[in-house]
Structure 1
């Protein structure tokens, strides 16, 4: 049954994607916020298909913590699911992405029209400067900015090294930093063809506001501690959960 559901999902993806991207290319001369709708629509359709075809549902905890002003979304990165879901959960946003993604045929070209902040991670100094300059420009257009502070996807139960770019942007652009935890990787393994049914949990934390005397290192540490603590609380439910998270979840009833 999982195979059949996934085959239907991929078939519909192959039908919907060219149509949405064609609309995005046609809308290229239009204002940024207008053409952004086409990319967001594609993400929301894919999310709908995951829920209703694959059976991969989700719940959001802490939606009341979403600020009313453009902010920096500082999210855990485990799969491709969150790149879709965050566009449904939060207001219009752009991503900080590695430059190489823009070179991919069709997907990369479409991504380029979605106003990302594309950085060369091998040139750290210029990458930081680019993030700040383009981040200010995106903020002026009313976009939120999504950053995966670990820089790449990590397996469930694993914490990567959190970089300070999100906190640095928060301070220099005067934007709240919103930590986000989720367990999507337990149902959608990295580079996997099959996505598994179940319920992903997304937890949105209280915004971290820039303060005088609090540097990006301290802000990053605060976000990391909150995210990783939530990861332990929500982990251990999916078929690809880390063994330690599974044991921790099994031990909870006995501990209670």
Structure 2
């Protein structure tokens, strides 16, 4: 990308980022009377906002979105690669009843935090992750949480493309205790929509729902398979976007 082309793309990216943050409270407030009394209303609000982002990304910065594989519709655990805000929206929009395990601090984020509460997301205290997982498992078992697709980011945070980070044991604990299939999800979105900064790059952002891992594996076997499958497929998807994961050191 030449200097002039880069400058034009940066300006387009600035306008894009500005308008999506402007539209977040607008759409959130429009749907608020429904969302406050209906979890379905909260879901539709979040999906409406996500689709607005997808649509404007396609013509403002040249990012197309694509979901591959078969998103699950039943009660299941989803363990995903996490690279930027975009993969959150893409996964959520592809599922009928998604809820996230997320950092407790997000609950205090305007609009996002309020809707996370309405969607019954599970807030995890970073310093007390084990206790939070135990409470979540107990809530599911007692029927306090609505059935749906529970999404966990196994590395715990957004990871820059090409950077290696460990998979945290919380995913393995959930897999064991919930005794549900686990659907791995790979992505390349961080190549086009970095976790930090203004610049957005044109291309096809992909999230791919992979073959479920059946319940019953030993925790260490499950974690090794999950990490291998997600990392290998994410590297392949990043390669499709023109990124060489092995070139980052």
Q: What is the Cα-based RMSD across aligned positions, in Å?
A: 2.5
Match of 2:179 in 1: 174
- Specify every segment of 5 or more residues in structure 1 that has no aligned partner in the other structure, as ranges: 247-256
Match of 1:244 in 2: 246
Flag structure 2 segments of 5+ consecutive residues without an equivalent: 1-7
**Counterpart of 1:249?**
none
TM-score under structure 1 length normalisation: 0.83
- Give the C-alpha shift of residue 159 in structure 1: 2.7
Change (3 A) 1:172 1:23: farther
Q: Which position in structure 2 is the counterpart of 1:132?
A: 137
Q: d(CA) in 1 for partners of 2:125 and 2:211? A: 31
* Partners of 1:24 and 1:113 within 8 A in 2: no
2:49 to 12, 32, 42: 42
> How many equivalent pairs are there?
241
Between the aligned partners of 1:132 and 1:126, the Cα distance in structure 2 is 10
TM-score by length of 2: 0.85
Q: Tell whether the 8 Å contact from 1:179 to 1:223 is kept in structure 2 after alignment.
A: yes
Paired residue for 2:27? 20
| Change beyond 3 A, Cα 1:177–1:153 | same
For the residues of structure 1 that align with 2:199 and 2:100, how far apart are their CA atoms?
25
Out of 10-19 and 94-103, give the one that drifted further: 10-19
Report Cα offsets for 1:128-180 as digits up to 9, x if no partner.
21231344578952321111000011111223111232333233223220001
Q: Say if 2:235 is the partner of 1:232.
A: yes
Distance 1:136 1:27, change over 3 A: farther
Tell me the secondary structure at the aligned position of residue 159 of structure 1. coil
**Cross-structure match for 2:5:** none
Match of 1:109 in 2: 114
1:30 deviation in Å?
1.2
How far residue 199 of structure 1 moved from its aligned partner, in angstroms, is 1.3
Q: Report if aligned partners of 1:75, 1:149 keep a CA contact under 8 Å in 2.
A: yes
